[in-house]
Structure 1
Amino acid sequence: MKKTTVYIWMSTMVVLSAALFTGITFFDLGPTLKPIVAKANPVGGEPEFRQSFYGSFDVPLNKPMDVAKIGELIYVTDTNNNQVQVFDQSGNNVLKFGEAGKEKGQLQFPYGISGDKSENIYVADLYNGNISIFNNKGEFINYFPNQEKAIKSPGGLRIYGEKLYVTDIKENKLFVFNLEGKKLMEIGGAGQEEGKFIAPNAVAVDKDNHIYVTDSGNNRVQVFDKDGKFIRIINGSTDGKGEPIFVNPRGVGVDSKGTVYVVSNLSHNIYAYDKDGKEVRVLGGMGTDNGQLYLPNGLFIDERDAIFVTDTINQRISVFY
C-alpha cells in the first residue's frame, strides 16, 4: 500500500470518528502567565512560544478543539467537557458556558468557534449537527438558521465581515452563509480532485478574500477565490502536486503579511508558508514541554499576529508571537 494511501486512510478515520483524542488528563496548570503584549514581534521577527493556559483550576481543559479571539477575550471549545471556556489575555478563566445535551444551550461535541462584530459567539456542534449562538455572557440566543438542512456535521467555523464559513466534515463540503442564514455558496463534495474534499476541517480567509480549507483526508490545504473558484493546493511540496508533508492537517490561519499557517495534526507541527508557497518556518514538534505540541488541532491568528493553538492532548492553549 502506498504511503499516501495509508495517510489518507489514517487521516479520514481520525477526523470522522474523533476517537484518536483520548481523555488524557494533565494536572499541571502550567507556569505563571504574562499578558499577551499589545505589540507582537517586529516586522521580520520569528514567532516564539510565549505562554500556555490550561483552563480553570476546578475544570481544566479536556480535549480543546478550537480557539478564537473575540473582542479582548479568548474563547475555547472545551470539547470533552461539552462547554466553552473563556479566558482573558493573562490566561485567567473568566467564564464557562454550555453543558452536555441536545437541548437549547447544550452541546455534544463543540468544535469550531467564532464571533460576529457584536461579540455574539457561534459554536459548531459536530454531533448535534447545528450551530448555537450565544451572547458574550454565555446566554443562548438561538440556533443559526440551517436552510434546507444544508449542514449535517459542522466542523471548522469562522466569521469574516458579514459572512459565516463552515466546513461540513461528513458531507465533504464548505458552506458560506450570510449572518441571516442565507446560503451564498457551496464548495466541494467527496473526492481527491481539485475542489473536492475528504473530511474538510478548518477554514480561513485572507485580506484578499482568498479562502483556505484544510482538506484533512487528502493531506492538503485548498485555496479558492472569493467566488469559490479553485486556485491552488498547499501540501508542503514545491508546487502542491508532490508528496504531502502534512499528516491530517486541521487548523489554518493567515497572518497580516500573508503567511499561511497549517496545523499538521499527526506530525505535531505547525508549518508556515509565504505567498509563493515556500516554507518559511516550522513550530512545535511532539512533546509536553513549552512550545511543543501533542496532536494540535485548532489555530487562530489575531490582529497582532499572535498565534493561538489548541494543543489537544496536552490539554492547553499554546500562544506564539
Structure 2
Amino acid sequence: MASNVSVITDYRDKRRKSISARTGKRLGADAVRIELAALSQVFVWAMECKVFTHNPLSGIRRKRGPKTERRLEPDESVNLKLLAERAESDQHRTVSRFLLTQLELYCRPGELAQLRVSDIRLASRDCILRNTKNGTTRIVHMSPTAVELVSVQLVQAALSDSPYLFHTVSKAGTLVPYNYAWPVRQFKKLGYVGADFKAHVMRKEALSRGLESGLELGVMQHQSGHGTLEGVEQYRVNLTLHDRARDALDEHSRIHLLDADADVNNQLPPALALARAQHLFDALPPDVQAKFLASFSQKT
C-alpha cells in the first residue's frame, strides 16, 4: 500500500512541475488538485466493483491555489457599460463589449476570444464554445443582454470579414483570435478598471452573482463548463445577499413574529392582550389601518 501512495505522490509532484500544452505555463495548484479528485473518483468506483480494497488518494494532501475575493467593482461596471456605448475609440468599445459579453456567458476569456461567427445562433439564443479548457465543446445560453452585445459585435465582424466574433490583426496582417490582454492593460493604465483587474474577474463575477441569486448549481455548471459542482462552489466567497434572499428572510421573520404574537396574546390577561393589539395597530401605516377597519366593518 505504501508503494501505491508513493506512486500517487510522485505523480502529484511531477504534475505540479508540468507545463500546460494549452497555455504554455506551469499547471496551477487547483488544476492538479482537480486531476487528483477525478482520479480519486476512479478508485472509488473501482472499490465499488471490488477491484480495489483501498483508495490510495484518501490520505494524499491536495494543495489548493490561493483564493481571490476580487469582484467587479461598481464603478468598473459603470465604466464598461458607458465605454461599450459611447467610447470614441473603436478599440475601447470592443474590449468593453468583450468583457461584458464574458459576464453574460459565464465563459473564460480565452473561450470567448476564439468564438467564431459561424458558431453563433441568434435564433435559438446560444453559441458553441470550442477548444475549451477541459478540451470539450459546450453550448452556452445567451441572455437578452448577451444577444444585444453579440449582435452589435457581429456587425463589426462582418465589416472586417472576420471569422471570429472578436479578432486581432496579427503582425502578418491576418485575422486571429482576439488578444484581449493588451487592451485590458490599457484600461488599467487609464483607470477604467483597477490595477489588479483581470479579464477572468468577469467570469468570477458572473458565477458569484449566480450564487447570490440562488441559481441552481447544475445550471451554472453547464453554462460555465466546470467539470464538477465543487468548481462552481469555489466562487462562494465575498458574496452579498440578493434581493430575493432578503425578501425571503423578511417574510420568514414576519411569519415567525405573527406566530409569536399569537402565542403571547393567548397567554396574556384579556386587558393586556387588548392593549398589546392596540399598540400593534397604532404602529401600522394609516392606509393599512384604513383597509383593516374597512374590512372589519364589512364583516360586521
Flag whether TM exceeds 0.5 (same fold).
Answer: no
TM class by smaller structure: under 0.3
Higher relative contact order (CA 8 A, sep 6+): 1
Computing the radius of gyration from Cα coordinates, the structure with the larger value is 2
